[in-house]
Amino acid sequence: MPIQRIVIANAKGGCGKTTLATNIASYYASRGKHVRLFDHDHQNSALHWSRRRQEPLLPIDVVNASRGPDNRMTRSWQLRVPAGTDLVVVDTPAGVGPSELAALVVERDYLIIPVLPSPIDIHATAHFIKDLLLVGRARQRQLKVSVVANRVRKNTRMYHALERFLFSLDIPFVTALRDTQNYPRAIDQGLSVLELKQRQRKLEQEQWAPLLRWLQDAPFEAQIHPFPQSIKRLDRA
């Protein structure tokens, strides 16, 4: 059975890529999966998070992929996936462009795009998705793509604007994760929000459930789509 690969990407920094990457990695590790997480971000937040994990939590193998190889190690060796690995999670850097993204994804990857409810983030994400579709067409790769709204406060004007944008895309909008201190609290302890005490994680479990189902249960289909009208308008702007 091929190794499942989950890539978290958006050219816009600060949208919560590492939060998604660490939470996904720890979810699968807690179910006995052997997980390797490649941290391509120069801040190495995922690497620092993994060092805070303590027993009885299962360890997660985090690779500092932002550091270039030296004379003792090639890049291919640095990015190798050891035998026995069940899942690969890739935390991409901020500012990742089409060519860099093409180098980070492979055939039949799961690609998750987090986006925040702000005009700047919506605009940047629209352009990122446009570039992503161009890469997908050029390489004819089958990528299973979804969008996740991150750090949202529902029933606000900005969140409704974000919802309208996401529903205009020809890409699944699978869930919205609320703005809560549970995430920094979990990161500070080397945990995921799903590893917090039951009373603290109830709402988070409900919000993560659609994303976890999408990763596990949905049939794999090629995600090569025509440009949505909202992205065509931005491209002419």
Largest CA distance in the chain: 54
pLDDT mean over 25-43: 91
Pairing of strands 144-152, 35-39: unpaired
Residue 170 has pLDDT above 90, yes or no: no
pLDDT of residue 176: 94
Residue 90: pLDDT band (50, 70, 90) is very high
Q: Which domains occur in the chain, in start order?
A: 4-236 (3.40.50.300)
In the predicted structure, residue 235 carries a pLDDT above the cut 50: no
Mean pLDDT, the chain, rounded, equals 82
Say if residues 149 and 163 touch (Cβ distance below 8 Å): yes
Question: Given this model, what pLDDT does residue 198 score?
Answer: 79
Strand order, beta sheet including 4-8: 61-64, 35-39, 87-91, 4-8, 110-115, 144-152, 173-178
Whether 221 shows a pLDDT value over 50: the answer reads no
Per DSSP, which regions of the chain are E strands? 4-8, 35-39, 61-64, 87-91, 110-115, 144-152, 173-178
Cβ atoms of residues 203 and 176 within 8 Å: no
For residue 183 the two structure tokens come to 């995430």
What per-residue confidence (pLDDT) applies to 22? 95
Q: How confident is the model at residue 234 (pLDDT cuts 50, 70, 90)?
A: very low
More confident residue, 221 or 143: 143
Residue 15 phi, psi (nearest 5)? -95, 0
211 Cβ contact list (under 8 Å, min separation 6) = 112, 146, 148, 174, 175
Q: Determine the pLDDT at residue 1.
A: 62
Residue range 82-92: mean pLDDT, rounded: 92
For residue 7, what pLDDT is reported? 94
Helices 198-216 and 17-29, packing angle to 10 deg: 90
First-residue to last-residue Cα distance in the chain: 45
Structure confidence at residue 200 (pLDDT):
77
User: 74, 77, 92, 76: which is closest to 37 by C-alpha?
Assistant: 92
pLDDT at 35: 94
Of 26, 20, 139, 149, the closest CA to residue 90 belongs to 20
Token pair in block for residue 129: 């998705």
| Residue type, position 129, single letter | I
Question: Percentage of residues in the chain with pLDDT exceeding 70?
Answer: 84
pLDDT tens digits for range 109-126: 899 999 999 999 998 998
